[in-house]
């Protein structure tokens, strides 16, 4: 069948070569050469076969393999996509070739191809052989065909029995460590738990006990334990688990269970860093298809979440590839390309793992987010979202015990430090700064506010009013408005500023633009579209309305109050420049000092919303509280409240803490968050 196939193709090619040729025209050998090269470059191997001399076809028949199949397989294995072949055309008239006696022509060619090991360039020769054939008029015509050579597949092939071998050397995945070198995601060891069936006294009981300990389906455990029914003395793995897993002792008491230590990824700080670090896992078919040509295989692992995913390109390294030619016996004849594996990078974060763990433990079972930052260098020392999963369980494909008590396990995967939320009154220092800069707010001016609720006189607000928490204070200046967190005062200041100026300053403050941070974060926004009404402007002044802020962005903006009006660049990597400005001289040094004094009153004045006696730590903290109400309607009695507190050391200027806790409506509002932040500050003092 193969020979008939070849003959058909050759006959078809002959017709194509002869078309358009008159009796006195000489066939140009380079027409055949061009056809062969074009088919080679476009991977149309059947077309290549159609140009071969019968001697070459017989040679391939003897080897009992098809050139199209062989070339296709070799190029697929080598990842060959683009091929470029060049040669120098010959001037037959100048060479004065005697066509009557010339039986062959040789063309040196240069081949360039892209492979999985990089670009390859080599030279070989194509020989054309003359053959006399009869045309449809029984007249003899000369024709030129290709003498095939193994080097037309790949460099170094001298014989049809030679083979190309490809071997890969996997790189070590890079590791992630904290600022002190503490291991956050490293190449370590894990336990592999399994059975040796012929050592089990009671198979049903043993498999049931393992299933119970791992919360697995017992039938699945039994199927895994029976993976090698013809070899009951072989180890059959069932589940991997972290070295720190407390179930180790119970597992060792089960007859027939064997536990090995094998290489694996270790996440030393588990739950407290999971939302930031993430985990790796086996590559999926969809991922493999999307990343075609980037060096992944069906057995690769890839970053699935967090920094393991964000830094995948830097962490995964480059695999080493060796392409060699071997003879029929498997002996290496020539090494064509040898690329050593390049291990992934070690990435050092500005994160302090101990601070991270303490902040995560402080938030505990609450739903919230926390940021710890050095306000003068911009280094993010902790970045927490609670509740969280444990990276070790996800990496090892284990059921996380935290999921058992949850109706919706998705809450474990919400990166709250990544999202934007209604900030409530922690926005007020920004309104104050804008008003001072615009000249609409005099910090020493006292405004008389007599009622608990307010709307502008003569407004068309209908029944809508701004409500403040305290109504016993009637004479309100900036410090009073800040320490009592007076919504009416800041609503009035926003109206004095006006919608246009508020929107312009939001742009200056970096709203609605990507936050310059290594971990992707949602942008903050002042309004869904624009501050289209006076009510919306007023509500924006005290952080309600449609304002949404990310906790990292919020923290970063607070740094201008201790940096003479400049906003520091937030950084997550140790090798990033620290102390660089994201936005320089955003507000004046004088404005920054005035606003700082006002938030010092929040913590130091006995009437301040964040004032506490007997703090238990020795720091000079300024701060601002905020409670954001999330209700379907203003009069609704039901609704969620977000509690906020931002605190920064205005003396040492070495720490800023931002915390947001959800569902504080029954916990005391932002006061609950103040107590949590103070608890954290006592731990680190």
Active site residues: 425
Q: Give the integer Cα–Cα distance in Å for 252 and 263.
A: 20
Q: Give the integer Cα–Cα distance in Å for 272 and 364.
A: 10
**In whole angstroms, how large is the CA radius of gyration of the chain?**
37
* Partners of 662 in beta bridges: 642
DSSP H or E segment with residue 500: helix 499-508
SS (H, E, C) 292-332: CCCCCCCCCEEEEEHHHHHCHHHHCCECEEEEEEECCCCCE
Backbone angles phi, psi at 50, to 5 degrees: -65, -15
Please report where in the chains the tokens 């100026």 appear, as a residue.
501
Q: Determine the Cα angle at 117 with ends 113 and 118, to 5°.
A: 50
SS3 content of the chain, % helix, strand, coil (to 5): 35, 25, 40
Answer yes or no: are the C-beta atoms of 195 and 280 closer than 8 Å: no
Is residue 391 classed as helix, strand or coil in its secondary structure?
A: helix
Answer yes or no: are the C-beta atoms of 467 and 399 closer than 8 Å: no
DSSP string, 546-573: T-BEEHHHHHHHHGGGTTTTPEEPPB-B
Nearest CA to 149 among 179, 126, 177, 130?
126
Angle between helices 534-541 and 499-508 (to 10 degrees): 40
Q: Give the integer Cα–Cα distance in Å for 427 and 433.
A: 10
Length of the chain: 685
Q: Give the integer Cα–Cα distance in Å for 660 and 619.
A: 21
The runs of H, that is alpha helices, within 330-462 are 353-363, 391-395, 428-438
Answer yes or no: are the C-beta atoms of 510 and 524 closer than 8 Å: yes
Answer yes or no: are the C-beta atoms of 323 and 117 closer than 8 Å: yes
Residue 126, judged by CB atoms within 10 A of its CB (0-12, 13-18, 19+), counts as buried
Q: Determine the Cα angle at 120 with ends 116 and 121, to 5°.
A: 165
Q: Where are any strands of DSSP class E within 417-516?
A: 420-421, 447-448, 453-454, 466-467, 475-476
């Amino acid at each position: 069948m193969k020979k008939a196939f070849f003959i058909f193709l050759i006959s078809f090619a002959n017709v194509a070569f002869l078309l358009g040729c008159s009796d006195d025209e000489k066939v140009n050998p380079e027409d055949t050469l061009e056809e062969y090269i074009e088919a080679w470059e476009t991977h149309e191997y059947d077309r290549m076969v159609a140009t071969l001399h019968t001697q070459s076809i017989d040679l391939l028949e003897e080897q009992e393999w098809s050139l199209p199949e062989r070339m296709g397989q070799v190029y697929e294995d080598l990842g060959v996509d683009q091929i470029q072949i060049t040669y120098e055309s010959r001037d037959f008239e100048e060479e004065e070739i005697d066509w009557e006696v010339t039986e062959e022509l040789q063309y040196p060619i240069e081949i360039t191809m892209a492979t999985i090991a990089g670009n390859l360039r080599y030279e070989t020769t194509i020989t054309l052989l003359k053959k006399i054939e009869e045309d449809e008029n029984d007249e003899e015509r000369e024709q030129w065909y290709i003498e095939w050579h193994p080097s037309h597949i790949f460099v170094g092939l001298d014989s049809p029995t030679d083979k190309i071998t490809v071997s890969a050397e996997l790189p070590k995945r890079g590791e992630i460590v904290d600022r002190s070198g503490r291991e956050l995601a490293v190449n370590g060891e894990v336990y592999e738990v399994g059975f040796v069936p012929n050592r089990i006294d009671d198979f049903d009981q043993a498999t049931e006990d393992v299933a119970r300990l791992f919360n697995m389906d017992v039938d699945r455990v039994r199927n895994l334990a029976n993976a090698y029914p013809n070899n009951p003395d072989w180890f059959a793995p069932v589940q991997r688990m972290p070295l720190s897993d407390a179930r180790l002792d119970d597992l060792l008491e089960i007859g027939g269970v064997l536990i090995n230590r094998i290489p694996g990824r270790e996440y030393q700080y588990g739950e407290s860093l999971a939302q930031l670090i993430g985990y790796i896992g086996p590559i999926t078919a969809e991922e493999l298809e999307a990343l075609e040509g980037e060096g992944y295989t069906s057995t690769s692992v890839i970053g699935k979440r967090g920094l393991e995913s964000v830094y995948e390109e830097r962490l995964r390294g480059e695999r080493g590839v060796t392409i060699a030619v071997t003879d029929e016996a498997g002996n290496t004849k020539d090494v064509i390309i040898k690329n050593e594996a390049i291990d992934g990078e070690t990435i050092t974060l500005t994160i302090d793992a101990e601070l991270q763990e303490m902040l995560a433990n402080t938030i505990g079972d609450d739903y919230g987010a926390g940021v710890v930052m050095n306000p003068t260098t911009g280094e993010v020392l902790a970045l927490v979202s609670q509740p969280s999963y444990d990276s070790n369980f996800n990496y090892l494909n284990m059921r996380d015990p935290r999921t058992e008590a949850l109706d919706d396990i998705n809450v474990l995967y919400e990166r709250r430090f990544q999202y934007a939320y209604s900030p409530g009154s922690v926005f007020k220092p920004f309104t104050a700064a804008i008003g001072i800069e615009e000249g609409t707010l005099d910090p020493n001016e006292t405004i008389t506010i007599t009622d608990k609720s307010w709307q502008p006189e003569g407004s068309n607000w209908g029944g809508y009013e701004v409500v403040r928490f305290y109504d016993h204070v009637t004479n309100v200046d900036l410090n009073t408005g800040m320490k009592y967190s007076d919504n009416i005062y800041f609503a009035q200041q926003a109206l004095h500023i006006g919608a246009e100026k508020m929107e312009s300053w939001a742009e200056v403050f970096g709203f609605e633009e990507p936050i310059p941070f290594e971990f992707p974060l949602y942008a903050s926004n002042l309004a869904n579209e624009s501050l289209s009404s006076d009510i919306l402007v007023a509500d924006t002044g005290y952080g309600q309305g449609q304002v949404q802020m990310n906790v990292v962005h919020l923290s970063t903006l607070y740094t201008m109050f201790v940096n003479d009006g400049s906003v520091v660049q937030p950084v997550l990597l140790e090798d990033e420049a620290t102390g660089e400005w994201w936005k320089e001289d955003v507000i004046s040094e004088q404005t920054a000092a005035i606003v700082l004094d006002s938030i010092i009153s929040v913590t130091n004045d006995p009437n301040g919303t964040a004032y506490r006696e007997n703090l238990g730590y020795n720091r000079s903290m300024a701060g601002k509280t905020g409670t954001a109400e999330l209700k379907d309607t203003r009069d609704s009695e039901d609704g969620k409240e977000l509690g906020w507190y931002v605190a920064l050391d205005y003396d040492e200027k070495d720490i800023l803490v931002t915390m947001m806790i959800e569902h504080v409506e029954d916990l005391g509002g932002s006061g609950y968050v103040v107590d949590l932040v103070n608890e954290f500050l006592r731990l680190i003092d």
